[in-house]
């Protein structure tokens, strides 16, 4: 993380008001509870301050940022929340090396990052037609797919040697994306799952369900992805109103904080 962001976060966390004390709050509680939301934000702020993610090539980062500048705005109804370009490159670096890669949901643009790293056999699946048009214009093979309601087309089944997905942070959404991705894999293929126990209270349940299907986590890469927060993606109004937290303090905390997730590789 940039030194200025780390310094600002450290100062904000040290200046946390008493009304922001949530040490006994269970993050698996009601996500609409302002105390749970505040506890999650504080944990992510601490993680942002302390994280030391792998460095990426500056030239590749600049190239990817230029490509993503024309990406469609995120669609909240589809649950989109973009990682930063450096995170996208880190994800691609872990996935590269497989012959044929499919991204099951690609609002982050990992297929573009893979192409920048020299990978050519990449495919993006998504429900967002705007995103698919954007990726197709960049030379990526695309297919429209609904991972929760639709079946896997025959042309995609057992075709790829690796699949990567960043699904919803819950049991049903996680399983929907992961099972769709698994159906696209050839025997021996690698399944890469973006998730985090701090962010997904049902992370353990998803792992157990996948294990019953024969898929086990064989590798975990921590703090690979940073999702920069903003007042549009994390509105602190309910926290301010319910807990009396100073708005200026929490708004500054939000704008300096990233949500984080890990990258898990599953195999069977």
pLDDT in tens, the chain (268 residues): 777 888 889 999 998 888 778 777 888 788 888 999 999 999 999 999 999 899 999 999 999 999 999 999 988 888 888 999 999 999 999 998 899 999 999 999 999 999 999 998 999 999 999 999 999 999 999 999 999 887 899 999 999 999 999 999 999 999 999 999 999 999 999 999 999 999 999 999 999 999 999 999 999 999 999 999 999 889 999 999 999 999 999 999 999 999 999 999 999 9
Sheet with 258-267: strands ordered across: 141-144, 122-126, 101-104, 160-165, 185-195, 258-267, 216-228
Is 25 within 8 Å of 39 (Cβ atoms)?
Answer: yes
Q: How many structural domains comprise the chain?
A: 1
pLDDT of residue 221: 96
Can you say whether the dihedral through the CA atoms of 190, 193, 197, 201 is positive or negative? negative
pLDDT of residue 29: 80
Measured between alpha carbons, how far is 66 from 140 in angstroms, rounded to an integer?
A: 16
Measured between alpha carbons, how far is 205 from 264 in angstroms, rounded to an integer?
A: 15
pLDDT of residue 5: 80
153 is in which domain, residue-wise? 3-267
pLDDT of residue 25: 83
SS3 content of the chain, % helix, strand, coil (to 5): 40, 20, 40
Measured between alpha carbons, how far is 62 from 58 in angstroms, rounded to an integer?
A: 6
Measured between alpha carbons, how far is 110 from 16 in angstroms, rounded to an integer?
A: 36
Measured between alpha carbons, how far is 163 from 138 in angstroms, rounded to an integer?
A: 20
pLDDT of residue 2: 76
pLDDT of residue 136: 96
pLDDT of residue 3: 78
pLDDT of residue 17: 83
CATH number at residue 221: 3.40.50.150
pLDDT of residue 44: 94
């Amino acid at each position: 993380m940039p030194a200025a962001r780390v310094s600002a976060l450290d100062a904000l966390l040290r200046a946390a008001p008493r009304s922001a004390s949530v040490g006994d709050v269970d993050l698996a509680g009601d996500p609409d509870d302002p105390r749970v939301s505040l506890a999650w934000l504080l944990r992510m702020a601490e993680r942002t301050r302390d994280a030391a993610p792998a460095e990426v090539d500056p030239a590749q980062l600049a190239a990817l940022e230029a490509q993503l500048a024309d990406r469609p705005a995120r669609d909240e109804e589809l649950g989109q929340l973009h990682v930063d370009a450096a995170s996208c490159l880190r994800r691609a670096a872990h996935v590269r090396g497989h012959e044929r890669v499919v991204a099951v949901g690609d609002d982050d643009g990992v297929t573009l990052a893979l192409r920048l790293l020299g990978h050519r056999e990449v495919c993006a699946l998504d429900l967002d037609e705007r995103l698919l048009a954007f990726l197709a214009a960049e030379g990526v093979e695309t297919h429209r797919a609904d991972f929760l309601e639709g079946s896997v087309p025959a042309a995609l089944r057992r075709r790829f040697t690796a699949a990567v997905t960043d699904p919803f942070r819950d049991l049903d959404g996680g399983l929907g994306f992961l099972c769709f991705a698994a159906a696209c894999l050839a025997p021996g293929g690698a399944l890469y799952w973006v998730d985090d126990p701090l962010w997904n209270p049902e992370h353990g349940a998803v792992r157990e369900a996948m294990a019953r299907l024969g898929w086990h986590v064989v590798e975990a890469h921590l703090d690979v992805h940073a999702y920069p927060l903003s007042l549009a993606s994390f509105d602190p109004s309910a926290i301010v109103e319910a807990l009396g937290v100073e708005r200026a303090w929490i708004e500054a905390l939000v704008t300096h904080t990233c949500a984080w997730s890990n990258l898990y590789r599953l195999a069977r």
